[in-house]
Amino acid sequence: MSQAIQFPLGADGLPTHWYNLLSDFTEPLPPPLHPGTGEPITPDLMEALLPPTLVEQEMTGEEMIEIPQEVRDVYALYRPTPLLRAVRLEKALQTPAHIYYKYEGVSPVGSHKPNTAIPQAYYNKMAGTQRLATETGAGQWGSALAFACSIFGLECTVYMVKISFEQKPYRKLLMETYGATIHASPSDRTEFGRKMLAEDPDSRGSLGIAISEALEDRATHPETTKYSLGSVLNHVCLHQTVIGQESIQQMEMAGEEPDIVIGCSGGGSNFAGMAFPFVRKKIKEQKNYRIIAVEPASCPSMTKGELRYDFGDTAQTTPLMMMHTLGHDFMPPSIHAGGLRYHGMSPMVSHCLKLGLIEATAVPQLKVFEAAVQFARSEGIVPAPESAHGIATAIDEAIRCREENTKKVIVFNLSGHGLFDLSAYDSYLNGRMQESGDDA
């Protein structure tokens, strides 16, 4: 009989609850601080930005949080997502390792981002919000929020990092198709954008700048508009835990227990979504998984940054968060994995690293694309450049298994497809891509 490569969950495999790792940390997560007073942020301050339910989810110690039926109904458009065994990649690598991947690219916009965009749009709609303002790097998050806003009848304004705006014109069109309004960031729409442009008219932007612009947009339209963030925050990591919960069920169907769990990490949300349900088993069932977060070598917040309080955005408008950071004014090189060009890391992911529950590694851009192309040629899916960071590490671990002749079970999160990123593949395949970021 041929090897099973798919482990499909039926509709009843869709999780009914999100898992909250905050409830299981042995040492509490340091709270976000008000930059003026140095005191922990109170819920009323956060409610200017987010609807009350999301503020509650940001802070709650409850372990399992029920997913509203309206959200589950929209998840059902694409969830449960597939978990596959990469037998052709295993063969190409001649490794005794078994490699599995959870594929989030089947969502309508091609990534894991709708897992949180849908509940965020839903809770905002319930709270009477008219419009959401947000930022996007590669455009995956902006597309997800634009899609979710179209489902729940909200307006959506997206500040898109200028380098990605230029590299990925089809992402902009996708967002517009869902009815969103897009501005290249830095833009002349906000005071902070104008300041950045005055300092550097050719600025290619960063997630930190785009976040500042979206926050300013919210602050100047307090009656109608709330802010929405696609990563970093606790409630975003919470919503993403559907990924890991499904993966645990699917690995049971495959009859295997992972030794190594891998995910790429920009602000940390897809990694958290995959990893936290496994971290739970590590804490509660003393499992000894290796759980690895993978970041770009050119934006190495976890492997080279400091763990300290820092702002989440360049204009210093957010609360201070305890996280691994390269500094809020760090300007990442223009690598093609736009979604990983962020100076900080989710406080929850940072805390996991501090507590030794996870590891972190960094991979350079050319190696990432070598892995991406090898994956595409063996498994057929063209991965998003962000996701390919996880693939590169999975391949490294599988090669190590070959060299040491050990059979490990590796599972990684393939957070999205790269069909809107083909200009990056063009640059790699035609020899223009450089390690430094800028194409030749």
Ligand X SMILES: Cc1ncc(COP(=O)(O)O)c(C=O)c1O
Q: Which residues bind ligand X (CB under 6 A)?
A: 111, 137-138, 140-141, 231, 264-271, 339-340, 384, 386-387, 415-416
Shortest Cβ distance from residue 213 to ligand X (Å)? 17
Shortest Cβ distance from residue 272 to ligand X (Å)? 8
Distance CA 58, CA 60 (A): 6
DSSP labels, 282-340: HHHH----EEEEEEETTS-HHHHSEEEEEESSTTS-SPEEEEEES-TT------S-GGG
Question: Residue 82: CB partners within 8 Å, gap ≥ 6?
Answer: 6, 7, 8, 102, 103, 106
CB nearer to ligand X: pick between 9 and 349: 349
CB nearer to ligand X: pick between 32 and 98: 32
DSSP alpha helix (H) spans, 27-76: 43-46, 52-59, 69-75
* List of E strands, 108-180: 131-136, 155-161
How many residues does the structure list for the chain? 440
Shortest Cβ distance from residue 313 to ligand X (Å)? 15
Shortest Cβ distance from residue 405 to ligand X (Å)? 33
Distance CA 379, CA 85 (A): 10
End-to-end CA gap in the chain:
49
Shortest Cβ distance from residue 94 to ligand X (Å)? 28
CB nearer to ligand X: pick between 231 and 317: 231
Q: Which residue is at the shortest CB distance from ligand X?
A: 339
CB nearer to ligand X: pick between 51 and 416: 416
Q: Which two tokens stand for residue 304?
A: 């080279």
Residues 200, 201, 203, 208: is their CA dihedral positive or negative? positive
Q: What is residue 147's three-state secondary structure?
A: helix
Q: Which two tokens stand for residue 195?
A: 């300041």
Shortest Cβ distance from residue 141 to ligand X (Å)? 5
CB nearer to ligand X: pick between 95 and 314: 314
199, amino acid identity: E
CB nearer to ligand X: pick between 121 and 401: 121
CB nearer to ligand X: pick between 193 and 385: 385
Distance CA 434, CA 440 (A): 7
CB nearer to ligand X: pick between 272 and 410: 272
Strands 260-264, 409-414: pairing kind? parallel
Shortest Cβ distance from residue 386 to ligand X (Å)? 3
CB nearer to ligand X: pick between 269 and 393: 269
Shortest Cβ distance from residue 138 to ligand X (Å)? 5
Residues 16, 18, 23, 24: is their CA dihedral positive or negative? positive
CB 206 within 8 A of CB 299: no
CB nearer to ligand X: pick between 98 and 389: 389
Locus of tokens 């809770």 = 123
Shortest Cβ distance from residue 307 to ligand X (Å)? 17
CB nearer to ligand X: pick between 80 and 230: 230
Shortest Cβ distance from residue 79 to ligand X (Å)? 16
Residue 42 CB: number of other CB atoms within 10 A?
11
Shortest Cβ distance from residue 371 to ligand X (Å)? 14
Residue 11 CB: number of other CB atoms within 10 A?
9
Q: Which two tokens stand for residue 282?
A: 């590590």
Q: Which two tokens stand for residue 12?
A: 């009843």
